[in-house]
Structure 1
Amino acid sequence: MELNDLLAYNWGVMMPEFIILGTIALLVLLDLFLSKEFDRKLFGWIAIAALISAGISVLGMLDTPVTSILDDTYRLDSFAKAFKMILLAGSVFVMLLAMNYNPKDGFSEYRGEFFYLFLAALLGGMIMSSSGDLITLFVGLELLSIPSYILAGMRRNSLSSNESAMKYVINGGISTAITLFGLSYVYGLAGSTNLLTIAKTLSTNVDSQHTYLLGIAFFMIFVGISFKLAAAPFHMWAPDVYQGAPTPVTAFLSVVSKAAGFIILVRIMFTIFLLTASDGPGSMPLLLKLQDYIAFLAAATMIIGNVIALRQRNIKRLFAYSSIAHAGYILVAFTSLNYLTFDAIWFYLVAYLFMNMGAFAVIQLMSETTGSEEIKDFAGFYKKAPVLAAAFGILLLSLAGFPGTAGFIGKVNIFMSAFLDKDNPHYVLASIMIATTVVSYVYYFGILTQMFFRPAAESKSIKIPAGIIATVGIAVAASILFGIMPNIALDFLHSNFGGFVDFLE
């Protein structure tokens, strides 16, 4: 490629990625040359400034039409813009948690590495959201995954952290291999790695043998990505990894990494299999024909996540199973496959971002204060920090889907989407969603019971860092605001992203 051709590309559409990449390079150099005594928390402020700058860059491109560069391997469309905003917003909260994370087992020594490894993982998620090609999708996936394995084991002196990193690497490697195997079938049948070219090629598929191979590819890709989402029955890694990883990393895995998983799921499944004929031209798309299998996985994820959470005594393990259950709720919207699907997934991820990040901020503070992550240690929390306990209670109610919170509106959107298809409404799936939501009230209210109705072992007040106050305050405000006035978020979505009609352009 000649220099003039390279310069002819509209590189401005990649400005958010360039900002993050430049910050990673800067932090690596600073960490290399600064003395060990230098407080690496400054890196967090540099990273937050970069995240805000990247977010402003995304907002500045809201009116930019669909733009693709590098032979359509990178595309900026409404889907990419909307989901990059979720990734960037969640990352700001993770940074605030990391700057205020001070465990007793060796995290502070590697705090500098945390910031640029985390930004590298974020960059992978952003690349996935704008990928128009299987190769860039896979590169983004690995750029997200590999730093995540390191981050999970960053507490080097903690056996549980070492165990979580090992389990994450093994399960992540297996899921990547399965996903890549499925993508290789798609490439072999379509003769291209470009997503839109694949969609056009496979939409005219008439060979039944090809359909059979595409069915295998579909299941392998879906299973591989289900590992990333911690969807049942491929969730076995999540509880141990969530428990052993540093709390900011757990928050990252539960929100940012999970959002990135749904990004790649939607990109691949909706682009390729929604247009692929299942039995010759004019027949039902393959994704619709296999809808029942996705519904089964969504139901199993909701049931397993919520039921097993009832038996948990460790707060981070409980939130691991809660995260599994929430992945099941979002899969209900994915199963529905109608015009409300994108809206329901986007809004739920936004609501989940705020309520889960705020909850992990409180969990981090309590685990450092008490030296334990047991739910029983939340007893009498209201006496020690009444305002913080009340805020945590609101976030738990939002996670449970209590009316008046963003979590409730998110569940209502998903519930409504399950009935929009008049020919095939998902009554059973919607019923399971309601039943499992009721089950979730038991363990969420169990935490509330400990905080407000159980006596504390000691009544010593808790010192709350400014970063934790900011995180919890923003999370609670957003959870209430989007619960009472959800149209603020939905109107922003509709006015700026136009129903994602350019997704396949």
Structure 2
Amino acid sequence: MTAIIALSLFGISNLFLGFWLSRKMIQQITMLFLAIGIGITLTDWNHEFLWFGNMFRTNNTSINFSIIIQLAAFFVVAFSNAFGQDDEHTHPAEYYAIMLFSTVGAIIMVSFDHLMMLFVGLEILSVAMYVLTGSDKRNLRSNEAAIKYFLMGSFATGILLFGMTLVYGATRTFYISNLTNVIASTAPESMPSFLYAGVLLMLVGMLFKVSAAPFHFWTPDVYDGAPTIFTMFMSTVVKTAGFAAIYHIFAGVFSGLYSTWVMPLYFISMLTLVIGNVTAVYQQSIKRMLAYSSISHAGYMLLTVAARQASSTSSILFYSLAYTLATLTAFAVFKLVSEYQTGRTEKPANFQSFEGLAKQNPFLAFCFTVSLLSLAGIPLTAGFWGKFFVFTDTFNRNIVYPIILAILMSAVGIYYYFKGIIAVYFKQGDIQKIEISTLYQVALGLTTLGTLVLGLFPNLVKSLF
């Protein structure tokens, strides 16, 4: 709760500091604010607190998710390059303030102990992302992406709220602990039928937020149309918060109704894996490929939610961290190369634009390769262990077909991820040396190093979860 208050005040402060400080200073101060937020969050370690009328709970699990979210936001700000030098059309103080407010919403989503707090956190996060998605007002694709995201997000929120209403009507409470007790103490035949409908409607509303099929249609267009730095934020912070909330609700609160939602969730996870991976194969744009990749990773994470094992919490945390680091690295390199290629080629986001990157930019090529290898689940990277832990949880539940499909889809993923690696190392191109700021280099090196360290020593981090 202290971190939420601090980041909210920091966001308001940013709006005023923007009148007096330079772009670079605002960027550095925002990073400092997020570092302070991480430090404040860590002070609650091994302490469980209830805040705000017992509607908000802080424990080690919520702290871990909060740290991943703030760490992702920290690196996104580091990769923002203070939004360039376009004084007329970019407003860094406002963007950074909105990102801090969005981070606050994400932290609420991982720490709620009341369904209304979930809704508040979700709306703070979502409204901020609608604004950031359409922030490039001169770009029609950005405007289109914002409209699509807003309209479909509004429908999903309505479905979620309707589901909450039905759950409240059946249980007479919004408090998580009370919901758990009511469901555990009521015989299945005595439960109102609309409780089951409410649970499934809440599932649909939350699955939209994490881009699970068939609620994924907004994802490729929004990821492609939004400015890359905000796509990076959306694909890491929003997805981590969404999965933390889904796991908290369904594997925790609605565990007594496991038979109601487990089969739909397994079906949706398999559909998500197929659609995400198969469609990614046909993409020529790296940004759209990463969008469908994001969809496919939602399918893997849903498997461990459905498995509901004792180790599922640590598996989701590890997967979230591994996916976040790899995605940050991939988008950071993509941002540099696409900005370099703008004006030099008609399609700077395509695989062809990355051809020959390794010749003059070995550091960028190495970082990009490590990130794609991790997303593909290749050994010695964090992504391998993330998938291994998820597959282990599913296998221990004795679910055969989803795990077989997941392994097959992982093989499909290797194909389209390696298209990027082949373009970088084995194709001829004319990319010259790309200038990178010191801060950008350090941030890129840290995310790449994190991916490798987690791949070599996974238990060092998983033991903390």
Contact 1:362 1:468 in 2 (8 A): no
Deviation at 1:101, TM superposition (A): 4.2
The 1-side partners of 2:149 and 2:260 are apart by 33
The 1-side partners of 2:356 and 2:88 are apart by 29
The residue type paired with residue 227 of structure 1 is F
Contact 1:418 1:430 in 2 (8 A): yes
Pick aligned residue for 2:233 from 241, 252, 266? 252
* Alignment correspondent of 1:128: 109
* Alignment correspondent of 2:345: none
Q: TM-score under structure 1 normalisation?
A: 0.88
Contact 1:185 1:213 in 2 (8 A): yes
* Alignment correspondent of 1:296: 267
Contact 1:205 1:211 in 2 (8 A): no
The residue type paired with residue 446 of structure 2 is I
* Alignment correspondent of 1:395: 371
Deviation at 1:427, TM superposition (A): 1.2
Matched, 1:17 2:16: no
User: Which one has the largest radius of gyration?
Assistant: 1
Instruction: Give per-residue Cα distances to partners, 1:291-310, cap 9 Å, x unaligned.
Output: 12111111111110000001
Contact 2:212 2:272 in 1 (8 A): yes
The residue type paired with residue 361 of structure 2 is A
Contact 1:361 1:471 in 2 (8 A): no
* Alignment correspondent of 2:30: 47
* Alignment correspondent of 1:8: none
Task: State the secondary structure of the residue aligned to 2:379.
Answer: coil
**Matching of residues 163-242 of structure 1 within 5 Å:** 163-206=144-187, 208=189, 210-242=191-223
**Matching of residues 80-99 of structure 1 within 5 Å:** 80-99=62-81
* Alignment correspondent of 2:45: 62
Contact 2:113 2:176 in 1 (8 A): yes
Matched, 1:465 2:465: no
Deviation at 1:227, TM superposition (A): 0.7
Pick aligned residue for 1:478 from 429, 437, 450? 450
Matched, 1:311 2:282: yes
Contact 1:101 1:248 in 2 (8 A): no
Pick aligned residue for 2:406 from 433, 455, 470? 433
Task: State the secondary structure of the residue aligned to 1:109.
Answer: coil
Q: TM-score under structure 2 normalisation?
A: 0.96
Contact 1:107 1:155 in 2 (8 A): no
The 2-side partners of 1:107 and 1:337 are apart by 51
Contact 1:182 1:221 in 2 (8 A): yes
The 2-side partners of 1:103 and 1:394 are apart by 31
Residues 153, 295 of structure 1: CA spacing in aligned structure 2 closer, same or farther, 3 A cutoff?
Answer: same
* Alignment correspondent of 1:77: 59
Deviation at 1:212, TM superposition (A): 2.0
The residue type paired with residue 383 of structure 2 is G
Moved more, 67-76 or 229-238: 67-76
Task: State the secondary structure of the residue aligned to 1:68.
Answer: strand
Deviation at 1:202, TM superposition (A): 2.4
The 2-side partners of 1:243 and 1:313 are apart by 12
Deviation at 1:290, TM superposition (A): 3.0
* Alignment correspondent of 1:325: 296
Consecutive unaligned residues of structure 1, counting only runs of 5 or more, are 1-13, 276-285, 494-505
The residue type paired with residue 406 of structure 2 is M
Corresponding pairs, count: 460
Q: What percentage of residue pairs aligned between the two structures are identical?
A: 31
The residue type paired with residue 113 of structure 1 is E
The 2-side partners of 1:430 and 1:291 are apart by 15
Contact 1:44 1:96 in 2 (8 A): yes
Matched, 1:455 2:402: no
**Matching of residues 339-418 of structure 1 within 5 Å:** 339-371=310-342, 372-418=348-394
The 1-side partners of 2:323 and 2:386 are apart by 9
Moved more, 463-472 or 151-160: 463-472
Residues 44, 459 of structure 1: CA spacing in aligned structure 2 closer, same or farther, 3 A cutoff?
Answer: closer
The 2-side partners of 1:380 and 1:19 are apart by 45
Instruction: Give per-residue Cα distances to partners, 1:322-348, cap 9 Å, x unaligned.
Output: 000011110111111111111110100
Instruction: Give per-residue Cα distances to partners, 1:89-133, cap 9 Å, x unaligned.
Output: 1111111122354498x8852222110001111100111222111
**Matching of residues 241-280 of structure 1 within 5 Å:** 241-275=222-256
**Matching of residues 119-158 of structure 1 within 5 Å:** 119-158=100-139
The 2-side partners of 1:327 and 1:487 are apart by 23
Contact 1:107 1:154 in 2 (8 A): no
Instruction: Give per-residue Cα distances to partners, 1:56-109, cap 9 Å, x unaligned.
Output: 112222122x211222111112221111011111111111122354498x8852
Residues 459, 202 of structure 1: CA spacing in aligned structure 2 closer, same or farther, 3 A cutoff?
Answer: closer
The 1-side partners of 2:167 and 2:64 are apart by 27
* Alignment correspondent of 1:278: none
The residue type paired with residue 352 of structure 2 is K
Task: Supply the RMSD in Å over aligned alpha carbons.
Answer: 1.6
Residues 24, 224 of structure 1: CA spacing in aligned structure 2 closer, same or farther, 3 A cutoff?
Answer: same
Moved more, 67-76 or 94-103: 94-103
Instruction: Give per-residue Cα distances to partners, 1:463-483, cap 9 Å, x unaligned.
Output: 122233122211111111111
Instruction: Give per-residue Cα distances to partners, 1:277-297, cap 9 Å, x unaligned.
Output: xxxxxxxxx123431211111
Contact 1:347 1:490 in 2 (8 A): yes
Deviation at 1:248, TM superposition (A): 1.1
* Alignment correspondent of 2:418: 445
The 2-side partners of 1:468 and 1:155 are apart by 22
Pick aligned residue for 2:14 from 22, 27, 33? 27
Moved more, 262-271 or 208-217: 208-217
* Alignment correspondent of 1:280: none
Deviation at 1:207, TM superposition (A): 6.5
* Moved >6 Å (runs of 4+): none
